[in-house]
Amino acid sequence: MQIREYQKKLIDDLRISMEQGHKNVMVQSPAGSGKSITMAEIAKRITRHHQRVLFVVHRRELVRQIKDTFSSWGVDMNFCKVYMVQTASRRLKKLITPSYIFVDEAHHSLAKTYRKIFDHFNDAHVIGFTATPVRLSGKGFKDVYDDLILGPKIKWLIKNHYLAPYTYYSVEVIDQNALKKSSTGDYTRQSMENAGKNIIYGDIIKSYQKFANKTKAIVYSYSVQSCKRVAEEFNRNGISAKEVDGKTNKEARQQAMKDFRIGKIMVLVNAELYGEGVDIPDCQTVIMLRPTQSLSLFIQQSMRCMRYQSGKRAIIIDQVANYTRFGLPDADRNWTLEDRAKHPQKEGATVDGPAIKTCPECFGVIKANCVACPLCGHDFSVEIRELKQKKEQELHKIKAQQIHINYISTKKPEELNSFRDLALYGKLHGYKPGWAYFQAKKRGLIKG
C-alpha cells in the first residue's frame, strides 16, 4: 500500500517546516483522510534511524488500533511506544526519553496532562495531528506549536474519492430554547436533559427508517440515560443495537465494536465515546442527538460516516439542528494557531460555503439558492416569490418611513398635528423626550 500524494505533501511540508527551525509542528488533515497512515509513515522514517517515538492518545481503544496500524506499516515498534496520555503522564520517570512525541487529536494538547509530558521531555520535538485545530474556549495553540501544516479540503477529498459524498437531513426532536451554556461555552448537561425531555424516541427510529434504513449507524446522544433509551427503542423495533458509555467495561466495549464491525449489530449508540479516531469504513450513517457549541465535536461526529467505500453515500441525520450553528461538514474553514473568537460558531461568518436551508418536504439540508430540492424535487418558487414580495414590502415601508422623516424635518413644531410627529421632530432635533409630551398636551393633542 502506497501513501497518497496529499499525504506525501503533508510529510514533505512537515520536513521543510522542521528544517526551517520549527521545533513543534501541528499537522491538520480532515477526518477520514488517513492521518494514521501519515503518522505511521513519519514514524517509520524516524525509527528506521533508531530514534525513539512516544505516541500519546486520549482513548484506550486507540492504543491497540495505532499499534496494529504502525506494525503493519513497518514501524520499528522497538523504538515506538504508544500510551494513553494519562498513563504516560504517570510513568514519565520510567519512560525512555523520546526524540519525538506524537500527539493524536492534538486539539487536546493544551490540557495539563499533555503539557506535563511536553515539559518533562522538553528536548523532544512535538508533532500533533488533528482534523480540527480549534478549542471551544477560543484559545490558540502557540503555547505548544510553532507552525501549522494544512492538509487538503474536505470538498477536494470528496471530489477525488478519498471521502464519501453525503446527504444531510435535519429533523429536530428537542426544544432549542431550553439549551443553556456552561462556563466552558458548551451546553450544560442539565439543559440538554431539559431540551430532550419531551423527545418521542419513536421519531428517531422513523427518521432512521425513512432516510437510512438497513445501514450501519452510529448514534451520538447527550447522556447515558438517553443512549439507553435510544438503543432500547431500536431493539424494540427489530433493529439490532447496543449502547456503550464511559462506564461500560473494557471487554464489553471491545465486544460491542467487534459486533458492529462484523454486522452483528446495526446501530451503535454512545455519548461522545466514538467521536474521534474510530475508523469504520462501512458505517454509512450518523445520527446526532447531542446539541453542541463545539465546532470540533460537530465535525468529528458528523464525519464519522464519511470514510470512503466505492458506491457509498454517507447519511447524516441531524436531529438537534447543529448545522444551523456550524454550516455543513465540508464548509471551508480558516484554521490557525492563533487565538480566535471564543465561540467557534461565529466562524460561520468567514466560512466560504453557501447559505443553506432545510427542505420542508424531505428535510434535506440544501443550498439556500435552490429553486427545486435536488433530493425530492420540492418546488421553492412559491416561497421564493413570497419572500421577494415580503422584502419588497419591507423596502417600500422603509422608504415610506424615510419620506415621512424627511417631511417632518422641513416643518415647524406648530405645523405638526399629532403627538407621534412631535415626538419624531423632537428626536430629530435632539430634544428631551418630555418636550413632545409637553407640546402635545399644551395643544390638546393628548389628554391627561
**Same domain (yes/no): 137, 269:** no
> What pLDDT is stored for residue 277 in this prediction?
57
Distances (CA, A) of 119 to 92, 110, 125, 129, 142: 11, 12, 11, 19, 15
- From the CB of residue 144, how many other CB atoms can be counted at a distance below 10 Å? 18
**Same domain (yes/no): 187, 40:** no
What is the share, in percent, of the chain residues with pLDDT greater than 90?
A: 69
155 CB-near residues (< 8 Å, 6+ apart): 330, 332
Can you list the pairs that 344-352 forms with residues at least 24 positions away whose Cβ atoms lie under 8 Å?
A: 344/134, 344/136, 344/138, 344/293, 344/294, 344/295, 344/296, 345/293, 345/295, 347/134, 347/295, 351/327
**Same domain (yes/no): 367, 336:** yes
E-strand spans in 105-203?
A: 125-130, 147-150, 166-170
What is the share, in percent, of the chain residues with pLDDT greater than 70?
A: 92
Can you list the pairs that 178-184 forms with residues at least 24 positions away whose Cβ atoms lie under 8 Å?
A: 179/291, 181/293, 184/136, 184/137
3-state SS, 258-271, equals: HHHHHCCCCEEEEC
**Same domain (yes/no): 185, 221:** yes
CB 317 within 8 A of CB 286: yes
Instruction: Give 326-364 pLDDT, tens digit per residue.
Output: 999 999 999 999 998 765 444 443 344 568 999 999 999
Residue 447 lies in a domain: no
Is the pLDDT at 275 greater than 70, yes or no? no
Indicate which CATH number applies to the domain containing 46. Answer: 3.40.50.300
Residue 171 lies in a domain: yes
C-alpha cell at 13: 511540508
CB 297 within 8 A of CB 245: no
**Same domain (yes/no): 279, 131:** no
**Same domain (yes/no): 188, 51:** no
d(CA 354, CA 190): 34
Q: What is the mean pLDDT of residues 210-230?
A: 95
Residue 89 lies in a domain: yes
**Same domain (yes/no): 202, 326:** yes
Choose one of 363, 379, 395: the last residue of a domain: 379
Q: Determine the structural domain holding residue 278 and report its residue range.
A: 158-379
Residue 448 lies in a domain: no
**Same domain (yes/no): 56, 44:** yes
Choose one of 126, 152, 178: the last residue of a domain: 152
Please choose, from the candidates 434, 441, 407, the residue with its C-alpha nearest in 3D space to the C-alpha of residue 421: 407
Choose one of 129, 152, 175: the last residue of a domain: 152
**Same domain (yes/no): 211, 72:** no
> What pLDDT is stored for residue 60 in this prediction?
80
Q: What is the mean pLDDT of residues 263-269?
A: 96
Please choose, from the candidates 183, 205, 216, the residue with its C-alpha nearest in 3D space to the C-alpha of residue 305: 216
**Same domain (yes/no): 247, 213:** yes
d(CA 50, CA 3): 22
Residue 62 lies in a domain: yes
Q: What is the DSSP letter of 33?
A: S
CB 282 within 8 A of CB 262: no
Element (H, E) at 114: helix 112-120
**Same domain (yes/no): 248, 342:** yes
3-state SS, residue 408: helix
**Same domain (yes/no): 275, 221:** yes
Tell me the average pLDDT of the chain: 90
Instruction: Give 289-334 pLDDT, tens digit per residue.
Output: 999 999 999 999 999 999 999 999 999 999 999 999 999 999 999 9
d(CA 203, CA 195): 16
d(CA 141, CA 106): 9
Residue predicted with more confidence, 445 or 269: 269
> What pLDDT is stored for residue 351 in this prediction?
46
CB 203 within 8 A of CB 173: yes
Number of domains in the chain: 3
